[in-house]
Structure 1
Amino acid sequence: MNEDSVEAERNPDPNISIYIDRPPIEEKCLKGILRPGALIRIKAAQKMGKTLLLEKLLEHARQQGYQTAKLDLKLADKSTLNDLKSFLQWLCIDVSDILDKPPNLDEYWQDSLGLNTSCTRYFQRYLLANTDKPIVLAIDNFERLFQCENIFPEFCLLLRSWYETAKQGDRMGKIWRKLRLVVVNSTELYPTLDINRSPFNVGLAVELPEFNQNQVQELVKKYELDRQLGEQDIIELMGLVGGHPYLLQEAISSLGSQEISLKELINLAPTVQGIFSYHLGQQLESLQNDSQLEVAYKQVVNADRPVRLDQKITFKLHSLGLVKILRNDCVPSCNLYRQYFSEFLG
């Protein structure tokens, strides 16, 4: 299922994701993007709807006449992430392309000024000064940079400096107030930054929660299955997958498009014959690729009480959507994961 799909009003198509509002998050974001010089940070575990919320936000901005440029760091190749200069020049070129402006590094990029200053100069003189319309720069999957020691701290400083410059009352501030920043990342623990050099302690921060029962009922209505799935059915389904948006949508779309009952779906769910088999297999592979994560999660799913883990491992498991954090301890994020992984991790 494609998390990048846009919101639909009535949508029985199982291949298209539906965004369900989780108030007051959406209203905060839609209002926030209208503020000059805004910085919005959207955080959640994998497959919680971050990208769908981002698309909703960008569409709202376009309706206001704003220009939008979305960069997905998953699409950046290794050579782009190899050093700061390559990354910042990729940023400048990609944003220029999206805004239908020919890249112009030759005129505005000066190595002698420093890399961050050159990038700032490009945005200020070429992209921002020549437009009356605000520009929304959205960076999805920002966690890709967490492991890039040559890029992450300097790029974070750059974003913070743009945000702070927009507060100035001079001509520079007026130019930079045209830029609105949106940063989207998982809940993985990011490297420590100086509080004065970080974009993660300023602006508007939102974290997407799971669906509650009313929101699941709204999702059922979107699929026009409200006559088929009553309140007790929803309770049973949530007993398996909790309020996890992706798992719920997989289940509900399958019930609408396949000849399968809720009872059959629940019984087969933690097996290779179930509708979640591909997703569960991907999660299993993620664990098996990191022996520390595998050992830790095996401990979590086989325990009858919350488990205290190393902080870094806790945040990695949470980023994958595999655990909920209760104070400082971990529990499986849903019964489906407990059943499946207690079997396949032994």
Structure 2
Amino acid sequence: MLISQEKFENIYQNELTPKQKKVLPLFLAGQTDEHIARELGATHRSTASHQLRNISTKFGFPPETEPDYRCNLIEMFAKYKPELVSVKALEKCGHIIQNIRFPEGLEPLNSAFYQERSPIESRCYTAIKELGALIRIKAPKQMGKTSLLKRIMAEAKKSSYSTVYLNFSLIETNKFTNANDFLRSFYAYAMNQLPSAPPLIVWDTDIPSMVNCTRIFQSLLKQLDGVLVLALDEVDKLFEYPEIYQNFFPMLRNWNENANESETWEKLRLLVAHSTEDYGRLDINQSPFNVGLPIKLEEFTEEQVKSLAIRHGLDSKNILPLMSLVGGHPYLVRLALYYLVSQDASIGELLQQATTDTGIYSEHLRRHLETFQENQELGRVFKEIVSNTQGIKIERKNRQFYQLDSMGVIKFSNSFVMPRCRLYHEYFGDRL
């Protein structure tokens, strides 16, 4: 198991001997033990091997119990000091994937290309085990919310927790006609994932739907032998239906608050993922969006993008030009890395065509452009943003700002709003 970045930095900076500091970069560059020994002025390769065993022990991989200690070292440095790790070293441990999956949708649990944003994952894994936990994940679309949410659920399953996942964008539109029909459907989706759930025939049409849903979920929790993790993804969908969210969100808030005084409700753990903070006419004191552990997913840092690049078998020299165009936007970065590998394109060629209708981002950009053409007021506001190099000053956040934030095409800086990256600035500046 990898140590924390803080502990790693302390060992790297303070605990390595001068000789170990000479051996380590040669090893991470992919050099053989013979070559390392010669660089040290030694006559036998065992000198290098001895130093690497000692280094590995300091980082928590004693060779006596960790037969793959060399690859563990490479993996650790690929995560925390990617600029030191060569493609050659990664290849030795099989960390470079030859058949790279097109980056679409969530990153599978076994993916080599899921990029952790430490300490977010560890915080969530700890929080989900707390009584009555509520974790709310906020980020624009394509920033990795669902990938994180699925990993929290996987961690919960290790503790034998029951899990239910519900993506609201996949619920049929006709289920949003009224609160009673919606809550029945909501329970039906949960019931289908839990064999022990009470059947829908116990639904009492003579009492209010929120009371009914609460009563039946309480019955479900009582029957469960253990914890239930209820993961609700893309709850923004509900903001289009005031009659629904004005009942549903206060109900979730009530369930979470019940955990403070009820052994039954403390078995419920809530995961809520959303793209925007526009809650319409909902009273914030009835909302689940201002309680629990808030997790805000930011863009990847330069080091995180470097780590991704080397796992694709790419030199880190590609990173700065790419980030100058798309920043650390997870999806835009991953798409570029995919094409750099799969089509053997140069970073110069890729960037030159990026804002054209034949570039790798054309489908992504056209989809947003169609949204702006269909929603003229939204397009007008975004046109004003991209037309000003410094962005525009925010007097107050309006409905359009929330929508643009949800789409992931803007960012807020102090009291200004501006395009999220140069790609959006140049493409939409020409077309809106």
- TM-score (norm. length: structure 1): 0.91
1:241: which partner in 2? 326
SS class of match (1:187)? coil
The offset of 1:124, in angstroms, is 1.0
1:316 aligns with 2:410: no
1:140 equivalenced with 2:233 (yes/no): yes
- Aligned twin of 1:14: none
Deviation track 1:289-340 (CA, whole Å, cap 9, x = no partner) reads 1111111111211212221355221121111111111123211111111111
In the alignment, which residue of structure 1 is the partner of 2:213?
Answer: 119
Largest Rg, 1 or 2: 2
Which range moved further: 296-305 or 209-218? Answer: 296-305
The separation in 2 between residues aligned to 1:196 and 1:214, in whole angstroms, is 39
Cα distance in structure 2, aligned partners of 1:190 and 1:156: 10
Q: Figure out how many residues of one structure are paired with residues of the other and give that number.
A: 328
Match of 2:380 among 295, 299, 314: 295
Q: 2:390 aligns with which of 305, 310, 314?
A: 305
Q: Does 1:174 align with 2:263?
A: yes
Q: In 2, Cα distance between the equivalents of 1:94 and 1:8? A: 26
- Answer yes or no: is the 8 Å Cα contact 1:188–1:318 preserved in 2: no
In the alignment, is residue 344 of structure 1 matched against residue 344 of structure 2?
Answer: no
Residue 196 of structure 2 contacts residue 223 of structure 2 at CA under 8 Å; is this kept in 1?
Answer: no
Deviations along 1:263-286, one digit per CA (max 9) or x if unpaired, are 000000000110111111111111
Gaps of 5+ in 2: 1-102
- Whether 1:45 and 2:147 are equivalent positions in the alignment is no
Hey, what does 2:105 align to over in structure 1? 3
Deviations, residues 99-151 of structure 1 (Å, cap 9, x unaligned) = 134661212x21223111110111111x2111112110011000000121111
Q: What CA deviation, in whole Å up to 9, does each residue of 1:45-66 have, x standing for no partner?
A: 1100001100111111111111
Residue identity opposite 2:167 in structure 1: D
Q: Could you say what secondary structure the match of 1:111 adopts? A: coil
1:88 aligns with one of 179, 183, 187:
183
Equivalent residue letter for 1:30: Y
Matching residue of 1:273: 358
Paired residue for 2:60? none
Cα deviation, 1:143-178, whole Å, max 9, x if unaligned, reads: 00012111101111100110111110xxxx111111
Q: Paired residue for 2:412?
A: 325
Query: Is residue 226 of structure 2 the alignment partner of residue 128 of structure 1?
Result: no
SS in 2 for 1:264: helix
- Report the residue type matching 2:287 in the other structure: S
Q: CA deviation at 1:72?
A: 0.5
On the 8 A contact 2:198/2:216 being kept in 1, the answer is: no
* Aligned-partner Cα distance in 2 for 1:188–1:196: 14
CA deviation profile, 1:75-105 (whole Å, cap 9, x unmatched): 1111111111111111111101011346612
Contact 1:210 1:243 (8 Å CA) reproduced: yes
* 1:254 paired residue among 327, 335, 339: 339
2:279 corresponds to which residue?
Answer: 190
Q: Greater shift after overlay, 274-283 or 184-193?
A: 184-193
SS in 2 for 1:31: helix
Q: Is the 8 A contact 2:196 2:224 kept in 1?
A: no
Q: What is the RMSD computed on CA atoms of the aligned residues?
A: 1.5
Q: Read off the aligned partner of 1:135 and give its amino acid letter.
A: L
CA contact (8 A) 1:19 1:49 kept: no
CA distance in 1, matches of 2:412, 2:121: 24
Which residue of 253, 257, 263 corresponds with 2:348? 263
Secondary structure of 1:151's aligned partner? helix
Aligned 8 A contact 1:19 1:53 in 2: no
Structure 1 position 202 matched with structure 2 position 202: no
**Does the CA-based 8 Å contact 1:41-1:205 persist in structure 2?**
yes
Counterpart of 2:341 in structure 1: which amino acid? G
Quick one: distance in 1 between partners of 2:116 and 2:197?
37
Equivalent residue number for residue 53 of structure 2: none
Offset of 1:195 from its aligned partner?
3.9
Higher relative contact order (CA closer than 8 Å, sequence separation 6+): 1
TM-score normalized by the length of structure 2: 0.73
Once the two structures are TM-superposed, the CA of residue 9 in structure 1 deviates from its matched residue by 4.8
Q: Which moved more, 1:214-223 or 1:237-246?
A: 214-223
SS of equivalent residue, structure 1 residue 324? strand
CA distance in 1 between partners of 2:197 and 2:221 (Å): 14
> What is the CA-CA distance between 1:211 and the residue it aligns to?
0.4
Distance in 1 (alpha carbons) for counterparts of 2:117 and 2:137? 13
| Rounded Cα–Cα distance in structure 1 between residues aligned with 2:277 and 2:409 | 12
Q: Deviations over 1:209-252 (max 9, x none)?
A: 00000010111133232xxx22x421111001001000000000
More helix by share: 2
Shift of 1:23: 1.8
Cα pair 1:4 1:51 within 8 Å, conserved: yes
